[in-house]
Amino acid sequence: MSKAQSSAKQTDGFHLVVDALKMNSVSTMYGVVGIPITDLARLAQGNGIRFIAFRNEVAAGYAAAAAGYLTQRPGICLTVSAPGFLNGLVALANATTNCFPMILMSGSSEREIIDLKQGDYEELDQLAAARPYAKAAFRVDRPESIGIGVARAFRAALSGRPGGVYLDLPRELLHSTIDEAVGKASLFTVEAPAPSQIPSPDSIARALDLLKQAERPLIILGKGAAYAQADEQMRTFIEATGIPYLPMSMAKGLLPDDHPQSAAAARSLVLENADVAMLIGARLNWLLGHGQPPQWSPDCQFIQVDISAEEVDSNRPIAAPIVGDIKSAMNGLLAMMHPGDIEPRQAWRDTVSAKKKQNAEKLQAKLAVDSVPMDYFTALRTIRDVLAGHKGIFVVNEGANTLDNGRNILDMYEPRKRLDSGTWGVMGVGLGYAIAAAVESGSPVVAVEGDSAFGFSGMEIETICRYQLPIVVIVFNNNGVYRGDDVNNYSTDPAPTVFTKGSRYDKLIEAFGGTGYHAEDSATLSAALQQALNARRPALINCVIDPTAGTESGHLKSFN
């Protein structure tokens, strides 16, 4: 596009992008600057949009994805071309996999040079690269199309099953000019980007009929249920039916983990014995053994509440699909059910209760031991006890053993307060998720991180310090991936799973003005965490874990 002068007042792509984002209530962007988007970040700041500048786009993208999950608005990640874009794409793919709404906006280089592969600065066909990993991908070529481009990105990210959307912003577009009045008139606010999708009454009646006949019903809550923000309806339905429920890890806290109907402590028993299982915003993927024996009974019948019709029957035949948004579905179920219609058999409730009690006692025995050096049980019990005084706190959790044990031991009491490795079991999401949780809510966050998991995005502690976020990072330092005691029997190189022994991760945060703590026993860990939470300032606790305490691949040993 030419930069021809006109007597009328002109605007450019930079201004129009910022204006379009503002019209759609974007208040924060996450990213890393450089050619051609540095001025876009500056302009956004000048127009009241926060720009949280990261050290790596992967972490910025994870932050945007978490912001989307928490707010039901697409989180925005801004990157430079080619390598910056590819870093962001990792996070975009993860957002799509987790059904989080996110928009990756990347500057790109000259189209005509890319298309002829003539070798531009940071040349890459980004639109083509993004397509397989995004829910949708668009490029805006003309300034008068910016409003439409942003609208399409919003709608694709939020409507139906949420996901990651790529928006390609060529350098030429950002610099091109247009008559200001024409440009402004082309922008608009997206109306109802995630409209209600009301399931059909007959699908609800079919599901209720199945639940009425059930002897051993079970409800499974997934992170789709948490995302849907139908917290009251969910609780009312579960309590009115009396059905035991199992929260998937990020659905923990939708009802408080100490709720009497929680079957989390009897997970294997309820999966194996349920005769009717109702999935609410949860997929029958690997995290649920694909719905197959031996984890599940071959006779179990399924109800699935999901916004994506294509998800139904993906692993097992679904007897009663309810396709629609979860809030509308829960409203429909509550409206059509009658008191006393659905009642799990007393024998089933008793069996679940007995198993819960038995497993809780077993766990309690492990938690009661105060080991030095600390194992996962001692460290997590200590953290759990301190967090009992901070019930609404965000908990971010990643690692292998750190994650598997953390999921079971750290109780959640409020919805959408737990963020973890999610559907891919990805390492490196922790600091980005923690930053988004703190930025979007203004509330404190504890990130319980395996030392390997932490390392993927560890430099973001500088970001945490720069923005003075109330985040306490606890690094479970066992000197390695899974364990820290592996030996290489073949050469003098370190074994593939081990890290430098005796590392002091607490010293890292001190370099940026944060507070570092070093804990080798539970009393020191407890005091450090209390102090760090009270200070509401950036802190990192180097939590020394017995290098022999972990299991290779954590709970996924059989996948090796």
Contacts with ligand TPW, residue ranges (CB under 6 A): 399-402, 425-428, 450-453, 476, 478, 481-482, 550, 554
- Kindly determine how many residues on this chain lie close enough to bind ligand ADP according to the rule CB under 6 A: 24
CB closer to ligand TPW out of 30 and 505? 505
Give the residues across from 396 on adjacent strands.
419, 447
Using CA atoms, how far residue 273 sits from 57, 220, 349, 440, in Å, is: 45, 14, 12, 41
Give the residues across from 29 on adjacent strands.
51, 76
CB closer to ligand TPW out of 284 and 427? 427
52: enclosing H helix or E strand = strand 50-53
According to the binding rule CB under 6 A, does residue 538 interact with ligand ADP? no
Nearest to 270 by CA among 343, 341, 213, 220: 220
Contacts 24+ apart (CB under 8 A), 310-315: 311/161, 311/283, 314/283, 314/284, 314/285, 315/284, 315/285, 315/290, 315/291
CB closer to ligand TPW out of 13 and 406? 406
According to the binding rule CB under 6 A, does residue 306 interact with ligand ADP? yes
Contacts of 107 (CB under 8 A, 6+ apart): 35, 36, 37, 40, 79, 80, 81, 169, 170, 171, 174
Q: Which does 224 bind (CB under 5 to 8 A by kind): ligand TPW, ligand ADP, none?
A: ligand ADP
How far does CA 123 lie from the centroid of its chain? 31
Report the residue closest to ligand TPW, judged by CB.
Answer: 450
Q: Which does 177 bind (CB under 5 to 8 A by kind): ligand TPW, ligand ADP, none?
A: none
Q: Using CA atoms, how far apart are residues 191 and 559, in angstroms rounded to an integer?
A: 45
CB closer to ligand TPW out of 281 and 554? 554
According to the binding rule CB under 6 A, does residue 325 interact with ligand ADP? yes
Q: Using CA atoms, how far apart are residues 321 and 309, in angstroms rounded to an integer?
A: 8
Site string for ligand ADP, 266-295 (x = CB under 6 A): ---------------xxx-x-x--------
269: enclosing H helix or E strand = helix 267-273
Site string for ligand ADP, 492-531 (x = CB under 6 A): ----------------------------------------
Which residue in 52, 137, 251, 270 binds ligand ADP (CB under 6 A)? 251
Q: Which does 453 bind (CB under 5 to 8 A by kind): ligand TPW, ligand ADP, none?
A: ligand TPW
According to the binding rule CB under 6 A, does residue 423 interact with ligand ADP? yes
Which residue in 30, 69, 227, 456 binds ligand ADP (CB under 6 A)? 227
The Cβ-side half-sphere exposure at 461, using a 13 Å CA radius, reads 29
Residue 26 φ/ψ, nearest 5 degrees: -75, 125
CB closer to ligand TPW out of 451 and 462? 451
According to the binding rule CB under 6 A, does residue 45 interact with ligand ADP? no
The residue count for the chain? 560
Give the residues across from 542 on adjacent strands.
475, 518
Kindly compute the dihedral angle of the four CA atoms of residues 528, 530, 531, 533, in this order, to the nearest 10 degrees: 120
According to the binding rule CB under 6 A, does residue 307 interact with ligand ADP? yes
According to the binding rule CB under 6 A, does residue 135 interact with ligand ADP? no
Q: Which does 479 bind (CB under 5 to 8 A by kind): ligand ADP, ligand TPW, none?
A: none
CB 278 within 8 A of CB 218: yes
CB of 431 to ligand TPW, least distance (A): 13
CB of 348 to ligand ADP, least distance (A): 23
According to the binding rule CB under 6 A, does residue 157 interact with ligand ADP? no
CB closer to ligand TPW out of 207 and 475? 475
CB closer to ligand TPW out of 217 and 399? 399
Estimate the crossing angle of helix 401-409 against helix 376-387, to 10 degrees.
40
Residues numbered 52-111 forming contacts with ligand ADP, rule: CB under 6 A = 98-99
CB of 289 to ligand ADP, least distance (A): 12
CB closer to ligand ADP out of 154 and 227? 227
According to the binding rule CB under 6 A, does residue 314 interact with ligand ADP? no
Which residue in 38, 308, 351, 497 binds ligand ADP (CB under 6 A)? 308
Max intra-chain CA distance, the chain: 82
Q: Using CA atoms, how far apart are residues 351 and 356, in angstroms rounded to an integer?
A: 9
CB of 225 to ligand ADP, least distance (A): 7
Q: Which does 172 bind (CB under 5 to 8 A by kind): ligand TPW, ligand ADP, none?
A: none
Give residue for tokens 């395996």. 450
CB closer to ligand TPW out of 332 and 450? 450
CB closer to ligand ADP out of 101 and 217? 101
CB 327 within 8 A of CB 196: yes
Q: Which does 75 bind (CB under 5 to 8 A by kind): ligand TPW, ligand ADP, none?
A: none
Give the residues across from 138 on adjacent strands.
167
Give the residues across from 107 on adjacent strands.
169
Kindly compute the dihedral angle of the four CA atoms of residues 250, 252, 254, 259, in this order, to the nearest 10 degrees: 170
Q: Which does 450 bind (CB under 5 to 8 A by kind): ligand ADP, ligand TPW, none?
A: ligand TPW
Contacts of 193 (CB under 8 A, 6+ apart): 154, 155, 157, 158, 159
Q: Using CA atoms, how far apart are residues 243 and 350, in angstroms rounded to an integer?
A: 12
Contacts of 197 (CB under 8 A, 6+ apart): 160, 307, 323, 324, 325, 328
CB of 304 to ligand ADP, least distance (A): 9
CB closer to ligand ADP out of 118 and 295? 295
CB of 224 to ligand ADP, least distance (A): 2
CB of 160 to ligand ADP, least distance (A): 8
Q: Which does 554 bind (CB under 5 to 8 A by kind): ligand TPW, ligand ADP, none?
A: ligand TPW
Contact footprint for ligand ADP (CB under 6 A): 98-99, 161-162, 222-224, 227-228, 248, 250-251, 281-283, 285, 287, 306-308, 311, 325-326, 423
